[in-house]
Copies of this chain bind each other. A is one copy, B any other.
Amino acid sequence: MREIINGKKICLGTCYYPEHWDACLWPRDLDRMLEAGIEAVRVAEFAWSKIEPREGEYTYEFFDSFLDLAAEKGMKVIFCTPTATPPAWLTEAYPEVLNADKEGHLYRHGTRRHYNYNSPVYQEFCRKIVEHSASHYGRHPAIIGWQIDNELNCENNEFYSESDGVAFRRFLKEKYGTLEALNRAWGTVFWNQTYTAWSEVCLPGKTNSGTNNPHQLLDYLRFVSDSACRFAGMQADIIRKYCKEGDFVTTNGIFGNLDNHRLTRDSLDFMTYDSYPNFSYGLDGYRPEDRMKDRGCSRSLAEVRSLSPVFGIMEQQSGANGWTDRMEAPTPRPGQMTLWTMQSIAHGADYVSYFRWRTCTFGTEMYWHGILDYSGRENRRIREVRDIHARLQKLQEVAGARYLAKVAILRDYDNCWDAQIDKWHGRVEWLSQDSLFTALQLEHVPFDYVYLNHETALEDLRQYHTVFYPHAVILTRERMSLLERYVAAGGRLIMGCRTGYKDIDGRCVTEYLPGLAATLTGTDIPEYSFVAPDEGRVTVDWDGTLMEAAVFNDLLQPLPDSHAQVLAAYASGYYAGTPALIRNLYGKGEAYYFGAAFSLDTARTFLKKLSLTEPYADLFLLPEDCELAVREKEGRKYFFLLNYTKEEQTVDIKQPMRDLLEQRPVQGKQSLPPYGVKVLAG
C-alpha cells in the first residue's frame, strides 16, 4: 500500500533542500518537522550536480547521508529526478540541449527549464542519471515515491531548438504519413504554403507580421505536449523498473501546452499540484474586480481532480511568494495557510506538502518564503502548521473520500489549444470559463471538469445530471456520438455560441452551423457576428429576464423536423427578435444551444432557470463569499465551508450535523471567523 494518498489518512509534508543548508542543520530540521506533524519531505529536484558533478561521474554520497538520516529519524522521502536543471558543464559542452526562442537564440544556463525535450543528447543524459538514481535508491527504506522532473512546461512551454525542429517533422510524418495529408490538414493552399518535401516543413517560426498558419500551430501545441509526455514517460518507465512495491511516481503540475490527462494516464500514479493562492494578492497581479481571488485556486483544484480524484499537493504555499525580479507578494495573513490547506483537502487532496521548510537565502527565489524565514527561528507560520496538523487529526475519516458533483463542465485539449491560437475562439472561451466557474462558486454548486478523449465513456458523463460544454468549437463525430448518447439517456447539455464550426484540424466546416451539433441541438445558424463595440450590451429576453449575450452572437433558428423550441430571443440590435436560445428535446434528455458567450450574470441566469443553484439548500444557507465543497465516502458526505474573506461570515445549518473540527454537533446559525473553515458530516 502507498504510504500517502492511500485512502487511509490525510497528512502533511514539506519540500526540503539539504543542498542549501549545512549538513549539521539537518537533524534539527528533521526533528522540528516531525514535531510539527510533517511526515514526508520532497528532495533533490534541482540537485543534478550533487549526483553527477562532472560528466559521467556519479556519486550518491551526499544524498546517502541525508536519506540515511531521514530513515533513522522516521522521515519519509519523495525523491526527484533532477532533469529540470541541467548542470553548467552539460549546457556548456552540449548547447544543443538548450531550448531556443523563435529566432533561434538559445536560452542560456542560469535559471531553470532551459532544456528542450527532444535533444537526443539530453535524453541520453537524463536516461542515465534517472537509471543511476532509481537503481541506487529504488529500495531505500526512507523513500516512498518519486517525482519526475519539476513542473513540466512551467516557465516556458514553447520550444524552438534544432532538435525540436527535427522532432516536429518526425511527429508530423507519424501523424500524416504523406505531405498531401499534411497539406490538406493545414490548408496550405492558402497563401501558397504548400509543402513539396518534408525538409520544407518547420516549426512555426519567425514570420512576417508574426502570424503563423493556425493549423500548424494546433499541431505544434500537440507536438509540445507529446514531447513532454514522452520525456516524462521515459523517466517513469525507468523508475518503475527499480522502485519498491507501493512507491509511487508523480510529478507536480499543472501547466499549459500539455495533455495532463495523457501524462497522468501514461506515467503517474496520481498528479500532485502546486498551489499558490496568494498570487491573487500580489502587487503585480491584484485585480480588485475579481470576485474569486484565492478562491480561484479551486478552479485549478477541480482541474487536478479531473486527473486524479484523490491527489496530493506537492507545494502548498506557506509564506510570501516572489522572485527577485517579479511576483512581489505579501505574506499570508494569519489563518490563510489553514484556509488554503483546507481548500486543497476539500477538493480531494489527501497529502499537503508545504513549500518549503525554510526560505532560501540566495538565488532568484529568495523571496519564495517557506514555513520558516531565513534564520529558521520559531514563527507564526510554523505555529499555524502545528495547528493545522492538530486539526487534521480530526478529519482523518475523510481520507479517500471523493469530491461529489452533479454538474460538469466538459473540456478537451483540442479546444483548449485552439482557443489559445485563435482569438475569435479565445474571446468566448475565456469569458465563459471564468463566468461559469464564478457563477457555480457563488451559487454553491459543486462541479467537475470532464475532459473528453478517446477513453471517455458514457458512464463518465452519466453521473452528472447537467453538463456545460460552452464553446466546443472543434467537434468530432466520436465526441458528438458520446454527447448524443448522454442526452438521449436523460442528460442535459448546454452549448454556447460558435459550437461545431471547426474540424479536428481547426478548419471551418462547410456544413450548416453548428455543424455536427446541429441535430442534437435542433439548431440552425444562418448568420453570426461579433458584438460590435458600438452596439453596447446586447441582451436576450428569456421569459422576461434580460441577460447579456456577450462577445459573439449566433443568430439562431430551430431546425425543421426537430423538437427544438425557442426559449429566448435577442432584445437589441438589428437582429432583435431573432432566436438566441433553443432547447431541443432529444431522447430522454434535452440539449440547449445559446447563441453567445456566458458572462457572469448570464451564467447565473442559466443556473437559476435550470434550477441548479444551491443544491444543498435544504442543508445550508450560505453567504456568497463562502465556498461549499463536498467529499463523499461510503455514502457519507463531508461538507467543507470555507470563508475567503477577512470578515466574519454567518452560515445557517438547517439540519443537525457534526462539526468535525470542533468534534461536536451543530445546527442553526454559526459563525465562520475570517478565513475560517468548517467541516461538517451529515
Contact = CB atoms under 8 A, between A and B. Distances in A.
Interface of A: 19-20, 46-49, 53-54, 82, 85-89, 92, 99, 101, 103-114, 155-156, 186-197, 199-200, 202, 204-216, 281-283, 286, 288, 320, 322-326, 328-331, 333-334, 359-367, 373-377, 379-380, 421-424, 427, 501, 505-513, 526-535, 574, 646
Contacts of A87: 192, 194, 196
Contacts of A512: 375, 377
A591 B385 CA distance: 36
Given A288-B534, A533-B281, A200 B109 contact: yes
Contact of A190 (B99, B330, B363): B363
A502 to B, nearest CB: 9
Given A156-B209, A324-B422, A508-B359, A192 B111 contact: no
Nearest to A92: B200
Nearest to A280: B534
Contacts of A108: 202, 205-207
A112 to B, nearest CB: 5
A501 B374 contact: yes
A96 to B, nearest CB: 16
Contacts of A533: 281-283, 286, 288
A191 B46 contact: yes
- Which of A286, A374, A528 neighbours the largest number of chain B CB atoms within 10 Å of its CB? A374
A367 B501 CA distance: 12
A596 to B, nearest CB: 13
A111 B191 contact: yes
A342 to B, nearest CB: 19
Contact of A365 (B47, B190, B202, B367): B190
Nearest to A87: B192
Q: Give me the 5 closest cross-chain CB pairs, A-B, nearest first.
A: A187-B362, A190-B363, A331-B529, A85-B192, A286-B533
A363 B213 contact: yes
Given A110-B202, A362-B505, 12 more contacts: A19-B189, A20-B190, A109-B200, A111-B207, A187-B362, A187-B363, A190-B360, A213-B363, A214-B366, A324-B421, A330-B535, A374-B508
25 contacts: A20-B190, A46-B190, A47-B192, A86-B192, A87-B192, A88-B194, A105-B206, A108-B205, A111-B207, A155-B209, A210-B325, A215-B363, A282-B533, A320-B529, A320-B530, A324-B422, A328-B423, A331-B530, A361-B507, A362-B505, A362-B508, A366-B507, A375-B510, A375-B511, A377-B512
A422 to B, nearest CB: 5
Contacts of A104: 105
Contacts of A112: 191-192, 208
| Assembly stoichiometry (copies) | 3
A330 B422 contact: no
B192 A526 contact: no
A334 B555 CA distance: 14
Nearest to A48: B192
B281 A534 contact: yes
A211 B199 CA distance: 35
Nearest to A99: B208
A557 to B, nearest CB: 12
Given A326-B423, A531-B330, A376 B213 contact: no
A527 B331 contact: yes
A424 B190 contact: no
B530 A330 contact: yes
Nearest to A193: B110
Contacts of A105: 103-104, 206
A155 B209 CA distance: 6
Contacts of A188: 88
B530 A329 contact: yes
- Which of A282, A328, A379, A501 neighbours the largest number of chain B CB atoms within 10 Å of its CB? A328
B281 A526 contact: no
Nearest to A358: B510
B110 A197 contact: no
A421 B82 CA distance: 28
A113 B208 contact: yes
Given A108-B202, A423-B324, A379 B526 contact: yes
Contacts of A508: 359, 361-362, 366, 374
A289 to B, nearest CB: 12
Contacts of A501: 374
A376 B512 CA distance: 9
Contact of A530 (B49, B197, B283, B362): B283
Contact of A189 (B20, B194, B380): B20
Contacts of A363: 187, 190-191, 193, 213-215
A536 to B, nearest CB: 11
A325 B374 contact: no
Contacts of A427: 283, 328
A107 B324 contact: no
A527 B380 contact: yes
Contacts of A325: 210-211, 214, 421-423
A535 B191 CA distance: 52
Nearest to A213: B110
Contacts of A329: 530
A334 B575 CA distance: 10
